[in-house]
Amino acid sequence: MKILVALKQVPDTETKIKVAADGRSLDPADVKWITSPYDEYALEEAIRIKEGKGAEVVALSVGGDAAKDVLKNALALGADSAVLLRGDGQGDAFAVAQMIAAYARDKGYDLILCGNKGLGGDNAAMGPMLAELLGVAQANVIVKLELGDGTFKAEREIESGSEIVEGALPAVITAQKGLNEPRYASLKGIMAAKKKTIEELDAAPATAGALISALALPPERPAGRKLEGDSAAQAQALIQALKNEAKVF
C-alpha cells in the first residue's frame, strides 16, 4: 500500500496577526511556524497503517525552503521519504490541489491523507478538490478509519454527531482531532531522518480561482461593562441588560 500525506506549514496558534505591507498577506516577522495540527493526525494515521499492515509513506508539502522543517519532522516521525513541491505560496487551495494532483497522478497511491483544514487558511477545501481532480473517493473530517481490501470505512464528524462513510480506494481522507494521538519524534527517528534527503521538485503550473485582495484585522469590540453587586444582583442586572439593551431575548 502506498500512502501520500499532505502537510502544510502554518503560523503557530499563538501568532498575533499583523498585516504585511502589501495589505493582503500575513507579515511573517516574528511568526513561529508549525505543521498544521490536523496534518499531524493525518501523518500519525499513515504511520500506524504502515506499522499495522505495512505501507510506504511519502510526506509532501507545497511551499518554499521553510516547509522543509515540516518534512524533516515527518521523516523523523516515520515517513519513508519526503517531497517538497516548490511553489510561491501565492495560490489558493485549488492551486495547491492542482499541484499535488499533478504530482500524485499515475504514482499508484492507494490513500492520500490530509488535514481537514489548514490552520489559518481555514479553507477546508484542498482535500475534496484533490479528490475531484484525481477522480477518487473522499471522506472528510474523519475521526476513525478502517481499511479493507480496496475499500475504506470512515467515521466522519457532522452537526448531529457522526456518520459512517464507505467507499473504494484510492481515496482522499481528511483528518479531524480524535482520529489518533500523534506521537513525538524519538531520538532514533531524528537521527535516521538526518540521513534521508528531501526530494525537491518545481510544482506544476496551476491556476488559482480565489484571490485575496485585502487582509484586515477585525474591528475592535466596544468596551464592555462590569456588573456590580452580589451574585443575585449581578444576575438580575445581566438578564435585564440582555433583554432591554442587547434585546437578545
Partner 1 sequence: MILVFCELKDGQLRKPSAEALSEGRRLADAAGKPLGALFAGASCAGSAEAAKYGADVILTAEAPTLASYSSDAYATVLADAVKAKGATVLLAAATAVGKDVIPRAAARLGAGYASDVTALSMVDGKLQAVRPVYAGKAFATTSFASAVQVATTRPNVFPAAEKAGAGATEALAAPAGDFKSVVKEILAKASGKVDLSEANVIVSGGRGMKDGANFKILEDLADAIGGVVGASRAAVDAGWGLPHSMQVGQTGKVVSPTLYIACGISGAIQHIAGMSGSKYIVAINKDSEAPIFKLADYGIVGDLFEVVPELTKAAKALGIGSN
Ligand X SMILES: Cc1cc2nc3c(=O)[nH]c(=O)nc-3n(C[C@@H](O)[C@H](O)[C@H](O)COP(=O)(O)OP(=O)(O)OC[C@H]3O[C@@H](n4cnc5c(N)ncnc54)[C@H](O)[C@@H]3O)c2cc1C
Q: Which of 192, 147, 194 is nearest to 169 (CA)?
A: 147
When CB distances are held under 5 to 8 angstroms depending on the partner's kind, the choice from ligand X, partner 1, none that residue 155 binds is: partner 1
CB of 189 to ligand X, least distance (A): 21
Coil/strand/helix, residue 56: strand
Instruction: Give the three cell numbers for residue 170.
Output: 484510492
When CB distances are held under 5 to 8 angstroms depending on the partner's kind, the choice from ligand X, partner 1, none that residue 91 binds is: ligand X
When CB distances are held under 5 to 8 angstroms depending on the partner's kind, the choice from partner 1, ligand X, none that residue 89 binds is: ligand X
Per the listing, cell 467507499 goes with 167
Please say whether the dihedral angle defined by the alpha carbons of residues 186, 187, 190 and 191, taken in this order, is positive or negative. Answer: negative
Q: Which is nearer to ligand X, 54 or 135 (CB)?
A: 135
Do 61 and 6 form a contact (C-beta atoms < 8 A)?
Answer: yes
Region of residue 63 (left: phi > 0; alpha: psi -120 to 50; beta: else): left
Q: Which residues bind ligand X (CB under 6 A)?
A: 6-8, 13, 25, 36-39, 61-63, 89-93, 96, 114-115, 117-118, 121-127, 208, 210-212
CB of 87 to partner 1, least distance (A): 17
| Cα distances (Å, whole numbers) of residue 175 to 44, 165, 216 | 10, 14, 29
When CB distances are held under 5 to 8 angstroms depending on the partner's kind, the choice from ligand X, partner 1, none that residue 218 binds is: partner 1
Region of residue 141 (left: phi > 0; alpha: psi -120 to 50; beta: else): left
CB of 197 to partner 1, least distance (A): 32
Q: Which is nearer to ligand X, 114 or 134 (CB)?
A: 114
Q: Which is nearer to partner 1, 201 or 238 (CB)?
A: 238
CB atoms within 10 A of CB 173: 30
CB of 103 to partner 1, least distance (A): 16
> Looking at 14-69, which runs of residues are DSSP E strands?
33-35, 56-63
Q: Which is nearer to partner 1, 191 or 235 (CB)?
A: 235
CB of 24 to ligand X, least distance (A): 7
CB of 13 to partner 1, least distance (A): 5
Q: Which is nearer to ligand X, 67 or 147 (CB)?
A: 67
